[in-house]
Amino acid sequence: MNLYNDLVLKFEKPDWSKNPEFGVFDTILELHPEIYHIFKSDIIGNEDITVFGRKDTPTVEQIVRAAIYKELKGYDYRELEYAQSDSRICATFIKLDERTPFCFQTFQKYISRIKEDTLHKVLVEIVKIAVDEGYEDISKIRQDSTVVKSNIHYPTNNSLVWDCIHESHRLLSHLKDEMRTLSFIDYTKSAKSTYFKINVTKSKDKQVDLFNKQLITFTKAINQVSNIVKKKFEGLRAYILVCELEELIPIMEKVYNITYRKQIQGESVPNSQKLFSIYERHTDIIVKGGRDVLFGHKVNLATGKSNLIIDCNIPEGNPSDTTLFKPVIDRVINNYGITPRDSSTDGGYGSKENSDHCKSKGIVNIVFNKVVGSLQNIASSLKMETMLKKWRSGIEAVISNLKRGFDLRVCNWKGFKHFKAKVMWSVLAYNIRVLTNMTLYRIADLAREV
């Protein structure tokens, strides 16, 4: 009820009344300034932002508010910069206070520093606010996993070899622009021709011949890069390019090894030894059931009865759902100090070990949508078991809402650290939207009663 009293006067202002979602969360942030302190260490470390001098650097509060506005609107950084001038709501929410809008590079610099762990702590704080307001009580928990794809093309050995040759040529071209005396051989023309021939060749024998030819060209490209990085170059830009080329060499060698083993020797290379992109090297191969193979990362979600996401985890590799079950139960109990009464998941999480773990934690109703072997669901009644199975299916709508509403089918942020941060930002934005909508419904109900 705290939110209702603070919002009554706020919604009399024309800006907030036209976009109440931001008005609600503006109130939440004012009532809970401790949220900013969670972000502070990531954004500025242990330094204190001075209140004197030019105001050309945003405060922690402005950075946090800008990041939230960006995610709720689905903007990129350039659109966020424009919105500061174009939208009164944006300027008011970010608290520009008649100051010149901050450039997109400034926001990108600070927002990109925020880590996944920090965002998870904020996620917990948002859910605790919902608990205090009576929207959630952590009495029920349901889990499911989905896949967020990396921003890569479909990987094949042929395309990876071509990517390596093309990327090495790009870096060498930039290095030549810096150092006019540098000379190198361009292997991209012959490599590209062979690349397309491999794509349209169906005969295995002819493919082997073409791969042999391509790998010879690839070896020349690797040797060329190895020889060039040994030379001494002057200038910061040249130094950075040489460092990127040095980092590329082991990747090229790994791609060569994988391609030779698979395409020439016919060996089956384990997924753990494969590389699926030279640009997003953290990418995992995910196979869920009999569905298509996806390239990205598995995201494991847990929600409560209010549809708020109360836990989110992005593991490395492709672990089975059974291994993800217990850590979620433990984190929920530790983070909120509440033991759920009911747990409901699909059959992929089902195991005797997981069922026993729930019982040891004090969970009463433990339901898996599908049980096999000696595993049995534990419920106070058949009606309760049926109800929990039906309730579990609602998490599919949560996942759909999250991925469609916050453009999370493919993650465009680079690197695994930023991949996880982007997923957590989207989850946080989803929770903010659910929490603010529940508050607005409550305000509407109270207004009708009056």
| CATH 3.40.50 describes domain 137-152+282-419 | no
Give me the pLDDT at residue 213, please: 95
Give dist(CA 347, CA 327) in Å, integer. 17
Which residues of the chain register pLDDT less than 50? 14, 53
- The residue written with tokens 């979600």 in the block is 301
Full-model pTM? 0.90
What tens digit of pLDDT does each residue of 20-54 get? 888 888 888 999 999 999 999 998 876 555 555 45
Burial of 260 (0-12, 13-18, 19+ CB in 10 A): middle
Give me the pLDDT at residue 3, please: 62
Give dist(CA 289, CA 62) in Å, integer. 44
Give me the pLDDT at residue 355, please: 93
**What is the widest separation between alpha-carbon atoms in the chain?**
82
Q: Which two tokens stand for residue 437?
A: 């909508």
**Closest-CA residue to 77 (of 45, 42, 102):** 102
Give me the pLDDT at residue 375, please: 86
> Do 325 and 354 touch, CB atoms closer than 8 A?
yes
In CATH terms, 157-273 corresponds, of 2.60.40, 3.40.50, 1.20.1440, 1.20.5, to 1.20.1440
Give me the pLDDT at residue 181, please: 85
- The residue written with tokens 């042929």 in the block is 158
**Closest-CA residue to 165 (of 211, 212, 221, 249):** 221
Query: Where do the structural domains in the chain lie, given as residue ranges?
Result: 2-114, 137-152+282-419, 157-273
Give me the pLDDT at residue 49, please: 54
